[in-house]
C-alpha cells in the first residue's frame, strides 16, 4: 500500500507529479488552453475582494495564492487562520468572494469560519480534497484538488494540489478581469503544464537532500527564509520540519530578519534559504549574506543561475531546475518536504503519525 516506500509521506511526496498532472487535466479544456470550472462557475468581475481562510498547511497555500491573486488578477486578498478569523468576527464588505481551503473538508475552525461567512460573502467557494465533506457541502461551489487519499498526517501532495488549483483560479480571474491577455494566459497555462516534468526532476534530488538532512537532524533550531512567494513556503517548510522531526523551526520573510530574529543566528543554527533566480533574488541574497557574516550556516536552495551568483561561502547548496517565477512555490515545496522527511527519518521519529497530531482536526 506504500508502493515500495518506507512511509506514506514518502509515497505521497513522490506522487506529486502524477496528482498535479491529474488536477490540471481535470480543470483544463481538452486542448489545454482554457480553464473549465464546474457549474455554476465563477464570475470574477463580480468581486471587489477575496477573503481566504484555512488552518496549517492549507493556510500557507492561501498565503501563496494571495500573491498570485494580487499580482496577476489585481484583486485585494485578505487571509487569516480560521481559529482567529471566526472569533474576530470581521465586517464583510459587499462583493466579497470567500475561499476556504481544506484537505479533509472537516476542520472544525475552517467550517465555523465558513458558516460565519455564509449569507455575508457574495460567494462561498471551497477548495477541498474530500469532495463529500462538510465544507464542500456547505459551499456555493466546491473545487476538488484531486490529490487522492492522503494518509500521512503531514500534508504534502494536498498542499501542492491546493496550490495548483489556486494558481488556475488566479489565472482565470486575471483573464476574466482583463488583467491578462489571452496570449499570456496561454503562456501561463503552458508553464503550469510543464510543472509535473519539473517536479519529477526535483524528486531526483532525493538522495542529495537525504545527505544534507543528516546534518540537520543534529540541530536544535532551524530557520527558513524566503521573500515574496517564497515567504509562505518558508513558513510551510518550518511547519513541516517541526511537526515530524520535533526540531524547533521558524520561517521568516528574509527582509524581516534584521528586525529581531537575526539575533538567533549562530554557527549551530542552520538557515535554509529558498531563492529561485527571480526578480527578488538579489534582495534575498543580501539578507543571506547578513546571516553568513554573523557565522550562520546557510543551505541555499536555488537554480543553476542563482547558485552561480551566490554560492560563495554557503554551507550547502541544492540545485533546482529552473522554473517560471510565478510557479516556483509549487516546485520548491518538494525540497521543503524532503528536507523535513529525511531529517525526521534520521532522527527516528514516527513520520506518518507524529506525536500529538491527528489527520483531521474536527474539534476546535
Ligand atoms: C500540516 C497539516 C495541518 C493541516 C491543517 C488543516 O502538515 O497537515 O496543518 O494542513 O490541520 O487541515 P485541513 O486541510 O484538513 O483543513
Among 155, 235, 238, 339, which is best to mutate for testing ligand 1, by the most ligand atoms less than 8 A from CB?
A: 155
Residue in the structure block whose three cell numbers are 533546482: 320
- Ligand 1 atom nearest the C-alpha of 240 is 7
Q: In terms of Cα–Cα distance, which of 245, 220, 209, 207 is closest to 317?
A: 209
Q: What cell was used for 102?
A: 481544506
Q: In what order do the strands lie in the sheet with 49-54?
A: 77-81, 49-54, 96-102, 123-128, 141-144
- 314 near 299, Cβ under 8 Å? yes
How many angstroms separate the Cα of 314 from the Cα of each of 140, 311, 338, 343?
Answer: 49, 6, 20, 20
- 13 near 334, Cβ under 8 Å? yes
Q: Tell me: the pLDDT tens digits for 111-157?
A: 999 999 999 999 999 999 999 999 999 999 999 999 999 999 999 99
Q: Is the CB of 56 under 6 A from ligand 1?
A: yes
Among 7, 57, 100, 156, which is best to mutate for testing ligand 1, by the most ligand atoms less than 8 A from CB?
A: 57
Residue in the structure block whose three cell numbers are 503552458: 190
Q: Is the CB of 82 under 6 A from ligand 1?
A: no
Q: Cβ–Cβ contacts within 10 Å for residue 246, how many?
A: 15
Residue in the structure block whose three cell numbers are 489585481: 74
Residues 11-39 have a mean pLDDT of 96
Would you call 177 helix, strand, or coil by DSSP? coil
* Burial class of residue 358, CB neighbours in 10 A (0-12, 13-18, 19+): exposed
Q: Does residue 361 surpass a pLDDT of 90?
A: no
Q: Is 359 a catalytic residue?
A: yes
Residue in the structure block whose three cell numbers are 488552518: 55
Q: What is the pTM of this model?
A: 0.97
Q: Please report which helix (H) or strand (E) contains residue 221, including its range.
A: strand 221-226
* Burial class of residue 338, CB neighbours in 10 A (0-12, 13-18, 19+): buried
Q: Tell me: the pLDDT tens digits for 188-234?
A: 999 999 999 999 999 999 999 999 999 999 999 999 999 999 999 99
Q: Looking at this predicted complex, what is its ipTM?
A: 0.99
For residue 40, cis peptide bond before it (omega within 30 degrees of 0): yes
Instruction: Provide CB contacts within 8 A for 206, sequence distance 6+.
Output: 338
Query: Cα(105) to centroid of ligand 1, in Å?
Result: 10
Amino acid at each position: 500500500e506504500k508502493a515500495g516506500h518506507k512511509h506514506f509521506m514518502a509515497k505521497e511526496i513522490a506522487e506529486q507529479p502524477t496528482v498535479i498532472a491529474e488536477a490540471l487535466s481535470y480543470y483544463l479544456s481538452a486542448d489545454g488552453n482554457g480553464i473549465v470550472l464546474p457549474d455554476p462557475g465563477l464570475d470574477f468581475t463580480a468581486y471587489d475582494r477575496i477573503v481566504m481562510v484555512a488552518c496549517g498547511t492549507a493556510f500557507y497555500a492561501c498565503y501563496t495564492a494571495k500573491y498570485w491573486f494580487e499580482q496577476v488578477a489585481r484583486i485585494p486578498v485578505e487571509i487569516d487562520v480560521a481559529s482567529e478569523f471566526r472569533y474576530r468576527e470581521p465586517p464583510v464588505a459587499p462583493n466579497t468572494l470567500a475561499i476556504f481551503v481544506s484537505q479533509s473538508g472537516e476542520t472544525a475552525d475552517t467550517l465555523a469560519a465558513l458558516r460565519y461567512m455564509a449569507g455575508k460573502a457574495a460567494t462561498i467557494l471551497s477548495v477541498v480534497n474530500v469532495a463529500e465533506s462538510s465544507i464542500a457541502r456547505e459551499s456555493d461551489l466546491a473545487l476538488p484538488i484531486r490529490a487522492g487519499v492522503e494518509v500521512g498526517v503531514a500534508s504534502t501532495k494536498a498542499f501542492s494540489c491546493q496550490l495548483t488549483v489556486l494558481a488556475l483560479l488566479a489565472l482565470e480571474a486575471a483573464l476574466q478581469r482583463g488583467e491578462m491577455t489571452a496570449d499570456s494566459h496561454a503562456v501561463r497555462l503552458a508553464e503550469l503544464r510543464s510543472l509535473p516534468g519539473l517536479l519529477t526532476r526535483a524528486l531526483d534530488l532525493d538522495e542529495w537532500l537525504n545527505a544534507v538532512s543528516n546534518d540537520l537532524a543534529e540541530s536544535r533550531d532551524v530557520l527558513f527564509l524566503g521573500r515574496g512567494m517564497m515567504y509562505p513556503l518558508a513558513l510551510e517548510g518550518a511547519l513541516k520540519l517541526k511537526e515530524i522531526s520535533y526540531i524547533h523551526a521558524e520561517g521568516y520573510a528574509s527582509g524581516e530578519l534584521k528586525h529581531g530574529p537575526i539575533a538567533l543566528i549562530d554557527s549551530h543554527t542552520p538557515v535554509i534559504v529558498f531563492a529561485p533566480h527571480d526578480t527578488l533574488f538579489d534582495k534575498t541574497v543580501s539578507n543571506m549574506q547578513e546571516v553568513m557574516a554573523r557565522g550562520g550556516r546557510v543551505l541555499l536552495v536555488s537554480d543553476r543561475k542563482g547558485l552561480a551568483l551566490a554560492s560563495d561561502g554557503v554551507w550547502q547548496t541544492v540545485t533546482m531546475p529552473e522554473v517560471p517565477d510565478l510557479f516556483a512555490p509549487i516546485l520548491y515545496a518538494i525540497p521543503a518536504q524532503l528536507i523535513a522527511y529525511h531529517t525526521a527519518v534520521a532522527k527516528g521519529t514516527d513520520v506518518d503519525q507524529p506525536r500529538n497530531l491527528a489527520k483531521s482536526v474536527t474539534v476546535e
